[in-house]
Structure 1
Amino acid sequence: MALLHSNKQLRFAGVALISFLSCFTSVFAGTFEVKNGNNTCIMAELSANISVKYILKDEQMNTVLVALPDSATVDNSSTCGNATVSPLLVIHFGDGHSLSLNFSRNASDYRVDTLSVTLNMSDSAVFVNSSVKAPMTVSSSSTGIQASLNTTYRCMSVTTVTLNNVNVTFSNMRVEAYLPAANFSKEATVCNADIGTSTPAPKTTPVTTATTAPPAPTTVPTNPTTGTYNVTKSNETCLLAKMALQLNITYQNKTTVFNINPVTTVASGVCDTNVSTLFLRDGSTNLTFMFVLNDKKFYLSEIGVATSDGFAADNKNLTYLRGTLGRSYVCSAEQTLTVNSVFSINAFHLQVQPFGVSNGKFGTAEDCQLDEDNMVIPIIVGAALAGLVLIVLIAYLIGRKRSHAGYQTI
């Protein structure tokens, strides 16, 4: 513990890590279950990043992001509890790291009573040149994760729990303890971040993203304003995006189209070697864009949204906005990014570079197919007009020559 309690009294400046997040493969939302025999008592689906500040061998400070990977598993120390032992979910990942959620309840509610993180500081692949090699465990009882019994705690937004020089940032989170059945309850308690208020999270009906009746007509707003957003890592820009966004949501038998306002939008994100995530929050609307890098080619692999009225949707199997490492993807034409049958995004004047940003500026632009197609039409029309002018000119010259040949000298 000397690692985190030096006489320098360093403060952890909460790395602004984001919503719908997860840097490791980011927005990886793993599902974890604790069972007693065949009965499931705890179920969790979440993404998590753990930011740790530690002391190097030269007594300098370093901050590292430890992410919950898709290989994370439920540890054997997890338990459904009994009359004297509280329910406990322990998620094991990496080389000796774990994330623990300890639950308690009263007559009407349950909560995460204690959140603990255990880190193997001798894991040199993560904690490079760490001056301390002993395992480190930190915990907090101020988690804010609380819900009514027989409902699922749901929080799509980014929420951060601050421990001692360690920050745990959750997103895409659904958690339920004391399960009455083998799956999440149909009703949900929505977190304050998703509803955009400071009032206690209400008990709501389940999120439904499909409707059976035709949606009510809606008024389409004017084209949105272009905003510029960036994500930094170690004080350097690692992701750049410039775009105008318009959301199309069908929910509760109504289609809503509205613009994202860059003036009121807060951007954050996480960058990793092969995954970068951009989070945008405009009021009570939360958007997530996850980019993947594979063989020096990047693409938008996931889009997610959560709104204050309980709507949530995402798609983790997308292949939009393809580009090359070190270059930016550019598309001036309007394009529709379809997430599913009830949610899509109209994007205008888009330029994005999620990897290989140099000096905080966009790299060489790679035009989208839509822009290239839009250029082909003017070229074809111009060539056709040029050909027509040439034909008219030739016909005129031939006609003029023939008229001259008809005159005789007197």
Structure 2
Amino acid sequence: SADEVPAIINSDPPITNLSKRPVLQPKETTPPQFLCTLRNPQGKVCVRASLGVEYVVRENKKNYYFNMNPSSTQATGFCGNQKSILSLDFDGGHLEFTFIKVPTVAFISMKILAPSAFHNKTYVGVINHDKLFKAKNGLSFQCKSQMTLILASYFRVKLVPLQIQAFDLANGAFGKEVECWEDYNKRMIPIILGAVAAAVCLIAILTYVLVRERRGQGYEQL
């Protein structure tokens, strides 16, 4: 089950002494999944996210990794009617989601700051113009497959698994899931391949039967 990250609403004091600064690792491991919620000053949930986060940095032709740790991460942000912001903060970086609501659809633009503990370098990546994780209002976006966001030639972020929603969360819970394209392909491709294989087998059987019948008719005419 996912750990829950404590949320701090925008009226709370700034965060200090979050954790020990992260260190990029030479080997990749599965990131822990955690749950975070953001509430407005009235206590109503405006953003809810369940995810695992892995940073991938390429340095000197090698990949290095950092998994976001739920125990050293805090959720801050802002709740608005048309725009909300969720920031997952840790000592050394943060992952920020900006949610935009239009009349029928909510989507996300992302601004990301990576860990800065590798050779005292700061790795920055921004996605400002793409509409990510689109879902109709009241629904949540879900992707069980790994989602990789390429932010630069040397920097990417992996999200796995992911379920996220802003605005219109009934009783603070996720709405019905909108399936990502990667999950849809994984689910449909075996079905399509199975249907194609069944069709090929059926065609082969029908061809065999027709050929056999024609041969039988030919013998009778002789």
| TM class by smaller structure | 0.7 to 0.9
- Corresponding position: 1:374 with 2:186: yes
The correspondence for 2:138, drawn from 326, 334, 337, is: 326
- Taking the aligned partners of 2:219 and 2:61, their CA distance within structure 1 comes to 82
Residue in structure 2 matched with residue 388 of structure 1 by the alignment: 200
Q: Does 1:229 align with 2:22?
A: no
Distance across 1 between alignment mates of 2:131 and 2:191? 29
Letter paired with 2:206: I
Q: Output one character per residue of 1:45-103: Cα deviation in whole Å (capped at 9) or x when no partner.
A: xxxx6x39xxxxxxxxxxxxxxxxxxxxxxxxxxxxxxxxxxxxxxxxxxxxxxxxxxx
Change (3 A) 1:251 1:364: same
* CA distance in 1 between partners of 2:138 and 2:111 (Å): 22
The separation in 2 between residues aligned to 1:398 and 1:343, in whole angstroms, is 60
| C-alpha distance 293-338 of structure 1, shift in aligned 2 (>3 A) | farther
Counterpart CA distance in 2 for 1:193 and 1:382 is: 55
| Deviation sequence 1:216-243 (CA, Å, 0-9, x none) | xx74413323222211222222111122
Counterpart CA distance in 2 for 1:280 and 1:389 is 53
Contact 1:304–1:312 (Cα < 8 Å) also in 2: no
Q: Structure 1 residue 306: deviation in Å?
A: 4.6
Task: Look up the match of 1:269.
Answer: 77
With over 3 angstroms needed to count, the CA separation of the structure-2 counterparts of 1:292 and 1:271, relative to structure 1, is: same
CA contact (8 A) 1:302 1:314 kept: no
CA separation of 1:373/1:253 partners in 2, compared to 1, >3 Å: closer, same or farther?
Answer: closer
Residue 319 of structure 1: SS of its match in structure 2?
strand
Unaligned runs of 5+ in 2: 1-6
Contact 1:196/1:283 (8 A) holds in 2: yes
Correspondences of 1:32-181 after superposition (within 5 Å): 51=11, 160=14
Distance 1:380 1:271 in 2: 43
Cα distance, 1:327 vs structure 2: 0.9
Contact preservation (8 Å) 1:337, 1:346 = yes
Q: Secondary structure in 2 aligned to 1:303? A: strand
- Measured in 2, the distance between the counterparts of 1:357 and 1:386 equals 43
Q: Distance in 2 between matches of 1:252 and 1:328?
A: 39
Question: Relative to structure 1, is the Cα distance of residues 270 and 251 closer, same or farther in structure 2, using a 3 angstrom cutoff?
Answer: farther
The question of 1:247 aligning with 2:58 is answered no
CA RMSD of aligned residues (A): 3.3
Preserved CA contact (<8 Å) 1:303 1:339: no
Tell me if the contact between 1:194 and 1:308 (Cα under 8 Å) persists in the aligned partners. no
Q: Specify the code of the residue in structure 2 equivalent to 1:290.
A: T
Q: Is the 8 A contact 2:52 2:162 kept in 1?
A: yes
Taking only the aligned residue pairs, the percentage that are identical comes to: 27
Q: Which has the larger radius of gyration?
A: 1
Distance 1:404 1:252 in 2: 73
Residues 98-143 of structure 1, C-alpha deviation per residue, up to 9 Å, x if partnerless? xxxxxxxxxxxxxxxxxxxxxxxxxxxxxxxxxxxxxxxxxxxxxx
Separation in structure 1 between the aligned mates of residue 212 and residue 59 of structure 2, nearest angstrom: 71
Structure that is richer in helix per residue: 2
Q: Which residue of 2 aligns with 1:259?
A: 67
User: Relative contact order: is structure 1 or structure 2 higher (C-alpha 8 Å, sep ≥ 6)?
Assistant: 2
> Structure 1 residues 317 and 195, CA, compared in 2 at 3 Å: closer, same or farther?
farther
Which of 103, 107, 124 lines up with 1:295 in the alignment? 103
Separation in 2 of the partners of 1:224 and 1:400?
59
Query: In structure 2, what is the Cα distance between the partners aligned to 1:291 and 1:337?
Result: 17
The separation in 2 between residues aligned to 1:253 and 1:398, in whole angstroms, is: 61
Q: 1:338-384 CA distances to partner (integer Å, 9 max, x unpaired)?
A: 23343321122211101211112111221222233334422331221
Q: Does 1:311 align with 2:119?
A: no
